[in-house]
Structure 1
Amino acid sequence: MTDNPFLVRSTLPAALPPFADIRDDHYEPAFEIGMREQREAVARIEADPETPTFANTLEALELSGPVLERVTAAFFTVASAHATPFVRDLEERVAPRLAAHGDAIRLSSALFARVDAVWRDRGAVDAEQQRLVERTRTEMLLAGAALDDAAKEELRGLNERLSALATRFDAALVADTNDLAVHVTDAAELDGLAADTVSAAREAASARGLDGWLLTLVLPTGQPALADLVSPATRGRLMDASRARGTRGGDHDTRAILLETVRLRARRARLLGFRDHAALVAVDETAGSTEAVTALLDRLVPAAVRNARREQEELGGDVAAADWAFLAEARRREEYDVDLAALRPWFEAERVLQDGVFAAAGRLYGVTFTERADLVGYHPDVRVFAVADERGPLGLYLLDLYTRDEKRGGAWMNSLVDRASLTGEAQAVVINNLNVPKPDAGTPTLLTLDSVETLFHEFGHALHGLFATVRYPKLAGTNVPRDFVEFPSQVNEMWVLHPAVLPGYARHVETGEPLPDGVADRLRATGTYGQGFATTEYLAATVLDQAWHRLTVEEADAVVDVAAFEAGALAAAGFDVPAVPPRYASTYFAHVFAGGYSAAYYAYIWSEVLDADTVAWFDEHGGLTRENGDRFRRFVLGRGNAEDPIGAYRAFRGRDADIAPLLARRGLG
């Protein structure tokens, strides 16, 4: 394996993985070598006869796995965005091995004893080193390092099985999402869709060897086309397909997987001394407890549901879930003289990226973006941009915009390389993935306003990863609590309709003309329009996540019917508007059953308290200025997890966050 690119640091700019040189047969050997080398390095730390110090324990641990870090970052980026059958098979095989490998380190009594010794003498090190000691010790305790040998052995088995189940859930969901795409052979069934959307549907059908058009599914329950399709029958087919995911029996059914996942998570939580999985998760988030999460939800849910009921009455009362978006858009056009579908020609993807997303970041933070056509990603659709500011290079930004059958649904950011001076990485490599339908050749990519917001949101994560400047990899980039990580990305959404940003990118794709007079003001005026629906569908998914993960072992074992449990949980929480289904039903809730948001989907609304309060701060201090951007970068984006995130927020804002701006934004005041 002397030619295996993972065995040495990449020589490309910012240590970008050399995807052009990476072959499928490189991954598994690199995993094996990486795990072996890290095990050997940890064994040396454990056996060190010297008194435990920060350098010989914590720093040595941070430096222990470079090969594994490189292959893991590259492979799981590909597994999310271009999961070929080979990649799927390898992921299923390697995930339990990686879980076992991680447990061997986190559950090591000898290693924990050394970390604990450094922690007891933590006053001898500086603030960032103290943070690393505290985070490492806390993570090891919550992982089970203090358990006896029998409990650790049981825990290892649970973790391996849970890792395998998450991989299976994701694979089954992707496959079923692809299978349930709605095939249309009569053009009349697509009435109302924009020309580029029809073009993308034709391209999707052609890619699968089908005649006609194929409406592929995005991850949430509500599908974008529902707002525009004139045909109630087509809307019904699309909604039925969306909600059927994971429920049809066979290899793609996710119900048994999620039930076993819930049961094993409950067992693991009890083993670790917690009542349930949600309690285990919350203790290491900024929320601190499930009681704090409950207090926020109890304040928001009743008001959101009331608003949803009011909106339903305004739409005619007897509204089906499949028809809500279409009727709501018709009312938006009538009430506000705003037709979101008709505005898509003003949201051409390249102009949004260059003159919107990049331009706003340039004005705020002094950063520039230069496309590097000589650098390649894992797929031809991936674009690479060099990012720099006045002080020099910051790293690379990768964008993978389009949907593919091999890509999981939704949108996300992840890091390929973290900036950390200990490892010599002075630049970051971050990537944004979206799932925008790709039109056929020669047709411009026109975004919906929702997709524009998503791009700005994910780019907020990217900035967090690019700007964070720390010494230690564990504290780098977006490695912050789940209920804080969404805060910087949500803040970046404020620039979508900002008067200093929108005119720069909202130009007609053919004429270059700006938005017609008054449209921008009317768009901003619709800020609270539809928030009853939007908040209710989000909170319903949040409540489902909490309900599944607040089950004790005995309660989890008693659940046998996913649909019945889901209905009961929603009813108990006061969700009595059937026309507003949860943003994610349990069977396709990838965030919590295949991702890292189990018992933490509340993070979006929790973070939005900080976000809305920060938007208010920007408004109070002059908006889009370099001075404001530099302050936000210095106190928040640039800190990573090198200090307590809430402490960083207080330093930025001068006080704790006020919930009032969130209530006003969501129409919940």
Structure 2
Amino acid sequence: MSDTTATIDVQSNPLLVAWETPHQTPPFDAIQPEHFLPAFERAFADHAAEINAISHDPAEPDFANTITALERSGKLLSKVAAVFYDLVSANSNPAILEIDKDVSLRMARHWNPIMMNAVLFGRIARLHDNRKSLALTAEEQRLLERTYTRFRRAGAGLDDEAKAQMAEINEKLAQLGTTFSHHVLGDEQDWFLELGEDDRAGLSDSYVAAAKAAADERGMPGKAIVTLSRSSVEPFLQSSARRDLREKVFKAFTARGDNGNANDNNTVIGEILKLREEAAKIMGFANFASYRLEDSMAKTPEAVRGLLERVWKPARAKALADRDALQALIAEEGGNFQLEAWDWRYYAEKLRQAKANFDDAAIKPYLALDNMIAAAFDCATRLFGITFSERKDIPVWHPDVRVWEITDAQGRHKALFYGDYFARSSKRSGAWMTSLRDQQKLDGDTAPLIINVCNFAKGADGQPSLLSPDDARTLFHEFGHGLHGILSNVTYPSLSGTSVFTDFVELPSQLYEHWQERPEVLQTFARHYQTGEPLPQDLLERFLAARRFNQGFATVEFVSSALIDLEFHTQPAAASQDVRAFEKAELDKIGMPREIALRHRPTQFGHIFSGDHYAAGYYSYMWSEVMDADAFGAFEEAGNIFDPAVAKRLHDNVYSSGGSVDPEAAYVAFRGREPEPDALLRRRGLLDVPKAA
């Protein structure tokens, strides 16, 4: 790129100029798709020059000129990439998705020579070898260790031939991961089920309103539709009295990426698995799972399998007992058919109404989105002393996005929090937390810009969005991740917020879910969206009593997905030959009840195939749940779910420490001991269940 071109780009490209916005936030209203490739080109060039300067520094390597310099490098790339990937996931369009294909390959080609730079790794390794004599702070020691590990695991110590192989593999994997996610989004965008008046039996008014809002969003005013967003599918399966439509929706949902069309992911999965296995072998590991888990709390596939099997056995036994009860209910109603996967949620809800005298439809009017946001914020205020005020002057990527400023107990600016809550066709499914800027103190205090993205059904005609209990839990879960970024208090960017082991990163999020279901919280914030009346005491008690209902099903659909993930990455040769056949064989092997589907079938399993962050790591949610179930006990033992002393330990050792402390040490510092594993089974009501047939 010529100097003239660069000058023009800087002057006209909002991604390449200083942001004259409140708190230097991205000017989304000015950013267009055509701005990204020139911005990435400049960012790649700047970063490469910074890395070259570090690698060829004639001075002896020390912490400042090598590790700290690395931390300061790539600021423009981080800035541009954060904005770009937010749009790819939360508000894409054909132009953005086309650019994504290009950028994923360019990103791999940029990072490969950096992470395999022998001269740079030599400097890092020398510091690592001499680390005990460097007089480093605890955080600096942790950063040096993590930097050395990151480069070593990327292949920086390999010979030139192996490095070239790894670089080629990384490029292919980057393209395949992008293709996988685009395929799933494509199937989700292409499918909907229109609901005529005769198709709405059993559906609540709030569901129909949300279905109308979904139709409006797709340019079908006056219609009502089911989409393939989980927040649309699961309540439909739970409440629709039309068995034929339940079957149609269920099959479309579970077939995403597996339809033999242009969006089919079976071949993509096979290629990903082969390449990951090849990379693991180059790195000296038996398989990708062993490679992946070396740098985790679990350490080995055997440890993961041990946890999952320990949970699987009682969960399966509970699910089979529930299955028999559901089949008996069908018979009682005169149904002459066998329970199928598209029937489970419907009849489980009927059974829950009969046994626990509770159904989700009764409580949804009390779980308005705004009230649950207020509840999540209030819990954070009471635990950590931070306060929230909505800002209307911050540019956003979609009109539905809301922004809050967060201040600390002394009234100082702490962070901005973006909430993007509603489903739309331009957004990938699921819920996630990410950031536009991470907290760090390397060059003055940098306040974070934290994002939560969800896919809740939007209320129609100005009505509020009403959440199911699962939706409300998801909101608290993602805000728990958000707090991990908001409360981060570290010096170095690489250790900020959620930069921790995957099987520790879910602790702050899953732990935060506990507050959502507490009577102290619900009594204050669960209010009827029309009357403002608080949640009636008897309904609250029935809700709390019903929480453990259907836990066999919920645990089976999760653990089976985690086991499949593990087997994919320990048996890639078999899995890549025929993904469907392998899936069936593995489910048969563990005795998967035929009436329960995987929470994520392989062809739509974005956690493990859209990228590798959770590959061989989906178990992490359960590993973290062992800790979160045990951790909340600290508040229960204190007799106050907002106990100041416990909250301070939680803040200091978990939420604010980021990756600056070893996670096992962080947990013990908070709890005073290691987690007690049975807390998970107790929480899910899976202790002392009957043995499976």
Matches within 5 A, 1:416-565: 416-552=436-572, 554-555=573-574, 559-565=576-582
For residues 163 and 60 of structure 1, what CA distance do their matches in structure 2 show? Answer: 27
Aligned to 2:376: 357
Deviation string 1:58-88 (CA, Å, 9 cap, x unpaired) is: 0111111111010011110111001111110
Deviation at 1:13, TM superposition (A): 3.8
The one of 164, 171, 176 aligned to 2:175? 164
Q: 1:209 to 1:7 in 2, by over 3 A?
A: closer
What residue number does 1:655 align with?
Answer: 673
Q: What does the per-residue CA deviation read over 1:109-131, in whole Å, with 9 as the maximum and x for residues that have no partner? A: 00000001111222211111111
User: Which amino acid in structure 2 is aligned with residue 326 of structure 1?
Assistant: Y
2:623 counterpart of 1:613 = no
Return 5+ residue gaps in structure 2 as ranges: 1-8, 329-337, 688-693
Structure 1 unaligned runs (5+)?
none
The 2-side partners of 1:333 and 1:616 are apart by 29
Matched letter for residue 193 of structure 1: L
Q: Structure 2 vs 1, CA of residues 574 and 102 (structure 1 numbering), >3 Å: closer, same or farther?
A: same
SS in 2 for 1:432: strand
Structure 1 counterpart of 2:391, one-letter code: R
How far apart in 1 are the matches of 2:376 and 2:449?
A: 18
Q: Distance in 2 between matches of 1:143 and 1:522?
A: 52
- Quote the offset at 1:567 in angstroms: 0.6
Q: Distance in 2 between matches of 1:369 and 1:13?
A: 16
The CA distance in 2 between the partners of 1:400 and 1:221, in whole Å, is 17
**Where does structure 1 differ by over 4 angstroms across 4 or more consecutive aligned residues?**
219-222
Q: For the Cα contact (< 8 Å) 1:177–1:245, is it kept in 2?
A: yes
- 432-441 or 408-417: bigger deviation: 432-441
543-552 vs 527-536, which deviates more?
A: 543-552
Change (3 A) 1:388 1:24: same
Helix, strand or coil at the partner of 2:327: coil
Alignment partner, residue 648 of structure 2: 630
Once the 2 structures are TM-superposed, how far is the Cα of residue 8 of structure 1 from its aligned partner? 4.3
Q: What is residue 572 of structure 1 aligned with on the other side?
A: 589
Whichever residue aligns with residue 323 of structure 1, its letter is D
Asked if 2 retains the 8 angstrom alpha-carbon contact of 1:352 and 1:506, the reply is yes
Q: Which moved more, 1:403-412 or 1:227-236?
A: 227-236
Q: How far did residue 555 of structure 1 move?
A: 4.1
How far is the alpha carbon of 1:181 from its aligned partner? 2.2
* Distance (whole Å) between structure 2 residues aligned to residue 541 and residue 222 of structure 1: 19
Cα distance, 1:517 vs structure 2: 2.4
**Is 1:45 equivalent to 2:61 in the alignment?**
no
- Give the distance between the partners of 1:505 and 1:486, measured in 2 at CA: 25
**Alpha-carbon offset, residue 219 of structure 1:** 4.7
Query: Quick one: distance in 1 between partners of 2:475 and 2:150?
Result: 32
Instruction: Give the deviation of 1:425 after TM superposition.
Output: 4.2
Residue 189 of structure 2 contacts residue 425 of structure 2 at CA under 8 Å; is this kept in 1?
yes
Q: How big is the shift at 1:291? A: 1.4
State TM-score, norm by structure 2: 0.93
Aligned residue number for residue 191 of structure 1: 201
The one-letter code matched in structure 2 to 1:242 is F
Matched, 1:79 2:88: yes
Q: Which residue of the partner structure matches residue 380 of structure 1?
A: 399
Aligned-pair CA distance for 1:441: 2.8
- Offset at residue 440 of structure 1 (A): 2.4
Residue among 103, 108, 120 paired with 1:111: 120
The Cα RMSD (Å) is: 1.5
Partner in structure 1 of residue 335 of structure 2: none
Whether 1:55 and 2:64 are equivalent positions in the alignment is: yes
Quote the Cα distance in structure 1 between the aligned partners of 2:417 and 2:285. Answer: 40
Q: Does residue 152 in structure 1 map to residue 168 in structure 2? A: no
- CA deviations over 1:203-262 (Å, ceiling 9, x no partner): 323443446321011259962211111111111111111112112122111111111111
Decide whether the 8 Å contact of 2:484 with 2:497 is kept in 1.
yes
SS at match of 1:69: helix
Q: CA separation in 1, counterparts of 2:177 and 2:232?
A: 20
1:290 aligns with 2:301: yes
Deviations 1:362-396 (A, max 9, x none): 11111111000011211111111001111311110
Question: Within the alignment, does 1:203 sit opposite 2:213 as a pair?
Answer: yes
C-alpha deviation, 1:352, in angstroms: 1.4
User: Displacement, 1:643?
Assistant: 1.1
1:326 to 2:346 alignment = yes
369-378 or 190-199, which moves further after superposition?
190-199
Distance 2:117 2:23 in 1: 33
Structure 1 contact 8–67 (Cα < 8 Å) conserved? no
Moved more, 600-609 or 440-449: 440-449
Change (3 A) 1:91 1:424: farther
SS of aligned partner of 2:15: helix
Indicate if the aligned counterparts of 2:232 and 2:457 stay in contact, CA closer than 8 A.
no
Kept after mapping to 2: 8 A contact 1:456/1:493: yes
Q: CA, structure 1 residues 370+221, in 2 after alignment: closer, same or farther (shift >3 Å)?
A: closer
Aligned-partner Cα distance in 1 for 2:186–2:445: 37
Give, as a single letter, the amino acid of the residue that structure 2 aligns with 1:602: Y
AA of the residue aligned to 1:403: A
Paired residues of 1:545 and 1:598 also in contact (CA < 8 A): yes
Residue 200 of structure 1 and its aligned partner are, at CA, apart by: 2.2
1:664 counterpart = 2:682 = yes
Contact 2:233–2:249 under 8 Å retained in 1: no
1:9: Cα distance to partner?
A: 4.7
Aligned to 1:583: 599
Question: What count of residue pairs does the alignment treat as equivalent?
Answer: 663
Q: Give the distance between the partners of 1:516 and 1:460, measured in 2 at CA.
A: 27
- Once the two structures are aligned, what percentage of the paired residues are identical? 38
Aligned: 1:339 with 2:359: yes
SS where residue 419 of structure 1 aligns? coil
Q: Deviation per CA, 1:172-210: give whole Å up to 9, x if none.
A: 1011012222223x2121122222221221232344344
Deviations 1:473-530 (A, max 9, x none): 0000111111100010000001112122111111001111111222212212223211
Alpha carbons 2:92, 2:427 under 8 Å: kept: yes
Q: Distance in 2 between matches of 1:638 and 1:49?
A: 37
Partner of 2:617: 600
Aligned to 2:75: 66
Q: Distance in 2 between matches of 1:212 and 1:4?
A: 41
